[in-house]
């Protein structure tokens, strides 16, 4: 009997050791660093800690924006120089929204203005164009539609519908290079070039469950969640490839600044009626399929996002970008 118990203990310890090895996930660069080819800064929203960031390839983590219930959203320019914050300043009967563009290196304000939503929406969000000249304003009211401003707040235009059909509240709208827009409307992915009077159908998505569209920096490739996994495809909708797999769900993909990697939200799970959280992992953007399971061994090349000095994979539950 003692011999049997000893054997069970040994097996149990071996299993613990194996699990620890599979999930310690230290980035593959030594001293909690990352491969030198993985560059940029990942910004992500986590619980009451506010907006955090981790710089690559060093793996150094720090706070970026303190937790603020008035912050509608933030954005960072593609060159990493500027930060845009959109803050709800509403009071009784008034719904001003403050847009502030600042220099990340020294905190100085570059542009600042107050925007008043036509639909009295105090929760509008803003996103910088690729060349930092314009801001895309997204709202949850039909009166607002899609609003385009110059970065100093000057009004440029507003889109209310596609072929006479009102835009959906949850439709995605993204910038493309050249100040073009990518709009997800019903099951269609549509491109609109300035002056935004006509659109071009890129792809009809014949899937029941899909979303989380992301555009690579060159504007030539898309990443999208279909059901429980992430896929990539060319901008014209061709060359669709599944690039993640697991026994769980992956979502919210983001391209690296050079387009050579994908940041993926793995083990995507619900935390409440309106809350979600996920673990951050990076995969090469080479068209291959990578196992990013939280338990099963991951494919070679998968990089869990760790902050230097910590031994737990980073998690997010809100906005996440890579610049």
DSSP 262: E
**Is residue 16 predicted with pLDDT exceeding 70?**
no
Q: What's the CA gap between 36 and 56, in Å, rounded?
A: 8
Res 71: pLDDT: 98
Work out the end-to-end distance of the chain between its first and last CA atoms, rounded to an integer number of angstroms.
60
The burial class, CB within 10 Å (0-12 / 13-18 / 19+), for 94 is: exposed
Res 142: pLDDT: 85
Residue of higher predicted confidence among 120 and 127: 127
Q: Is 248:294 a contact under the CB 8 Å cutoff?
A: yes
Count helices and strands in the chain by DSSP H and E runs: 1, 29
The chain-wide mean pLDDT, for the chain, equals 90
pLDDT tens-place string over residues 232-274: 999 999 999 999 999 999 999 999 999 999 999 999 999 988 8
Q: What's the CA gap between 178 and 201, in Å, rounded?
A: 18
pLDDT tens-place string over residues 122-131: 999 999 999 9
Q: What's the CA gap between 309 and 298, in Å, rounded?
A: 22
Q: Is 243:260 a contact under the CB 8 Å cutoff?
A: no
Confidence band of 26 (pLDDT split at 50, 70, 90): low
**Is residue 284 predicted with pLDDT exceeding 70?**
yes
Rounded to two decimals, what is the model's pTM? 0.89
pLDDT tens-place string over residues 194-235: 999 889 999 999 999 999 999 999 999 999 999 999 999 999
Q: What's the CA gap between 111 and 91, in Å, rounded?
A: 23
pLDDT tens-place string over residues 42-92: 999 999 999 999 999 999 999 999 999 999 999 999 999 999 999 999 998
Secondary structure element (H or E) that encloses residue 98, with its range: strand 96-103
Res 2: pLDDT: 40
CATH class of the domain whose range is 27-322 = mainly beta
Q: What's the CA gap between 67 and 69, in Å, rounded?
A: 7
Residue of higher predicted confidence among 307 and 165: 307
Q: Which residues have CB under 8 Å from 197's CB, separation 6+?
A: none
pLDDT tens-place string over residues 129-164: 999 999 999 998 888 899 999 999 999 999 988 888
Q: What's the CA gap between 229 and 215, in Å, rounded?
A: 17
Secondary structure element (H or E) that encloses residue 18, with its range: helix 2-23
* Residue 104: closest CA among 85, 127, 123: 85
Q: Token digits for 38?
A: 């993985």
């Amino acid at each position: 009997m003692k011999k049997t118990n000893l054997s069970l203990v040994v097996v149990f310890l071996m299993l613990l050791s194996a699990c620890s090895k599979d999930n310690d996930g230290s980035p593959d660069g030594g001293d909690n660093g990352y491969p030198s080819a993985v560059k940029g800064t990942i910004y992500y929203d986590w619980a009451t800690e506010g907006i955090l960031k981790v710089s690559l390839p060093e793996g150094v983590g720090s706070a970026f924006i303190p937790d603020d219930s008035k912050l509608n959203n933030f954005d960072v320019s593609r060159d990493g120089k500027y930060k845009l914050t959109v803050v709800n300043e509403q009071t009784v009967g008034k719904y001003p929204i403050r847009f502030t563009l600042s220099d990340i290196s020294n905190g100085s304000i570059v542009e600042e203005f107050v925007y008043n939503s036509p639909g009295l929406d105090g929760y509008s969000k803003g996103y910088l164009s690729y060349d930092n000249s314009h801001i895309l304003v997204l709202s949850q009211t039909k009166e607002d539609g899609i609003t385009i401003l110059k970065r100093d707040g000057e009004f440029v235009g507003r889109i209310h519908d596609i072929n006479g059909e009102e835009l959906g509240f949850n439709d995605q709208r993204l910038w493309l290079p050249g100040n073009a827009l990518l709009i997800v409307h019903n099951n269609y992915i549509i491109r609109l070039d300035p002056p935004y009077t006509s659109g071009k159908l890129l792809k009809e998505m014949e899937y029941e469950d899909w979303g989380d569209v992301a555009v690579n920096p060159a504007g030539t490739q898309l990443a999208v969640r279909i059901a429980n996994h992430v896929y990539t495809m060319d901008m014209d909708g061709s060359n669709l490839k599944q690039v993640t797999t697991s026994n769980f769900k992956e979502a919210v993909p983001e391209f690296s600044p050079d387009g050579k990697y994908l940041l993926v939200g793995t083990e995507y799970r619900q935390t409440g009626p309106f809350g979600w959280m996920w673990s951050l992992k990076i995969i090469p953007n080479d068209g291959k399929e990578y196992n990013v399971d939280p338990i099963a061994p991951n494919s070679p090349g998968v990089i869990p996002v760790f902050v230097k000095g910590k031994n737990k994979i980073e998690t997010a539950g809100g906005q996440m970008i890579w610049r």
